[in-house]
């Protein structure tokens, strides 16, 4: 599209999955347009449009952007199409960050591969490089002054049909992907799905802080043993939630097993972080309750020595561990589907359901 009275106008459409991809797309749209004008082609008027959308997955669990690129560009009058997804991708056994098509004028970015920090900035740098390459008619040369994904072992792979990939290799790439998957899962969301579990844990812990035997036990237990009890309690509840709610992936075949291993690692980290957050909240609630209810003089008479805030903290620490273990019973009354929805991102749930149906 060329205008007689001004510079050539180019429109970049960013189609993003709901959730974090959409939020990222909207946050970088203005800045990306400015950087494209400044670094890629100052003679063009660049505009970036961010919209929410979700292309259907294929039977293999992939997003067919390259097959849909021409249609998307025509329907929306975009010159370039970008798709941001929270779906993890791989290419030739390596972590895939992005996929670009010179013929389709399209870029797909798998956001979990960008890790858990500086995601918006890394996305903008990556798109700046990819769009600059497409605009120049090349495959993967970033524009001057920009080095996307400042990390070792970033590789560019060319494929037939003018398709190129940015991949990460080695342990750093897998760790970055795992961190990104956990970020997309947003561990804090699980707390809202565990309302009955938290209520049971709080009730059991409250009983513990009013039980005089607990006072003496908390007073004599060494700190390392209190810490060990905490780890066991968090691990036990986390394991129960994973097993009871069917969060563990089982797949056959080398490639499927590797995918399941990564999924399970992300699940374990997400659930443990969620339970750990619940534990901290429970500890603070019980600490406030013990300070408000238990008289210091009465507690001193029971334990036989002067008391301070540390003893109240030790008592709440032990009671929180007891309540966390009891929370497993309460979790039986929480919705299995709500727990799964709170554990995984929307796209990841779709892929897991598709994988489970194919296994069956």
SS percent in the chain: helix, strand, coil, step 5: 60, 15, 25
Encode pLDDT of 11-30 as tens digits: 999 999 888 889 999 999 99
**By mean pLDDT, which of 78-92, 141-155, 187-201, 300-314 is the weakest?**
141-155
Per-residue burial over 142-178, b if 16 or more Cβ lie within 10 Å, else e, is: bbeeeebbeeeebebbeeeeebbbbbbeeeebbebbb
What pLDDT shows up at residue 234?
A: 94
For domain 8-176, is the CATH number 3.40.50?
A: no
pLDDT band at 253 (very low <50, low <70, confident <90, very high): low
User: Is 70 exceeded by the pLDDT of residue 151?
Assistant: no
Residue ranges, CATH 3.40.390, the chain: 8-176
Encode pLDDT of 85-123 as tens digits: 988 888 887 888 999 988 889 999 999 999 888 899 999
User: Is 90 exceeded by the pLDDT of residue 262?
Assistant: no
Encode pLDDT of 215-235 as tens digits: 889 889 999 999 999 999 999
Task: For the chain, give the percent of residues with pLDDT over 70.
Answer: 81
Q: How far is the C-alpha of 186 from the C-alpha of 206, rounded, in Å?
A: 29
What pLDDT shows up at residue 352?
A: 65
What's the average model confidence in pLDDT over 116-141? 82
Q: Residue for token digits 């990306």? A: 32
Mean pLDDT of the chain: 82
């Amino acid at each position: 599209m060329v205008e007689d009275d001004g510079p050539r106008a180019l429109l970049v459409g960013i189609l993003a999955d709901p959730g974090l991809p959409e939020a990222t797309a909207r946050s970088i749209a203005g800045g990306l347009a400015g950087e494209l004008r400044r670094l890629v082609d100052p003679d063009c008027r660049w505009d970036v449009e961010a919209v929410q959308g979700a292309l259907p997955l294929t039977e293999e669990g992939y997003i067919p952007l390259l097959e849909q690129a021409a249609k998307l560009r025509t329907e929306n009058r975009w010159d370039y199409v970008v798709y941001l997804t929270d779906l993890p991708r791989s290419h030739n056994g390596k972590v895939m960050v992005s996929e670009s098509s010179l013929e389709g004028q399209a870029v797909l970015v798998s956001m979990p591969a960008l890790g858990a920090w500086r995601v918006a900035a890394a996305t903008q740098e990556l798109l700046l490089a990819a769009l600059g390459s497409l605009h120049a008619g090349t495959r993967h040369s970033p524009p001057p002054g920009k080095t996307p994904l400042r990390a070792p072992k970033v590789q560019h792979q060319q494929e037939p049909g003018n398709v190129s990939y940015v991949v990460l290799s080695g342990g750093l790439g897998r760790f970055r992907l795992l961190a990104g998957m956990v970020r997309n899962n947003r561990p804090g969301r699980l707390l809202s799905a565990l309302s009955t579990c938290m209520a049971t844990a709080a009730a059991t812990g409250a009983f513990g802080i009013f039980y005089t035997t607990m006072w003496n036990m908390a007073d004599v237990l060494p700190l390392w043993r209190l810490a060990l009890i905490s780890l066991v309690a968090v691990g036990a509840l986390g394991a129960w939630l994973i097993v009871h709610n069917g969060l563990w992936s089982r797949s056959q075949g080398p490639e499927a097993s590797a995918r399941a291993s990564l999924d399970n690692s992300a699940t374990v980290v997400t659930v443990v972080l969620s339970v750990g957050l619940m534990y901290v909240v429970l500890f603070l609630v019980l600490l406030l309750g013990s300070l408000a209810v238990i008289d210091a003089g009465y507690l001193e008479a029971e334990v036989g020595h002067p008391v301070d805030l540390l003893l109240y903290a030790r008592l709440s620490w032990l009671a929180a561990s007891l309540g966390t273990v009891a929370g497993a019973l309460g979790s039986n009354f929480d919705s299995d589907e709500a727990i799964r929805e709170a554990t995984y991102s929307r796209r990841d749930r779709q892929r897991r359901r598709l994988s489970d149906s194919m296994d069956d």
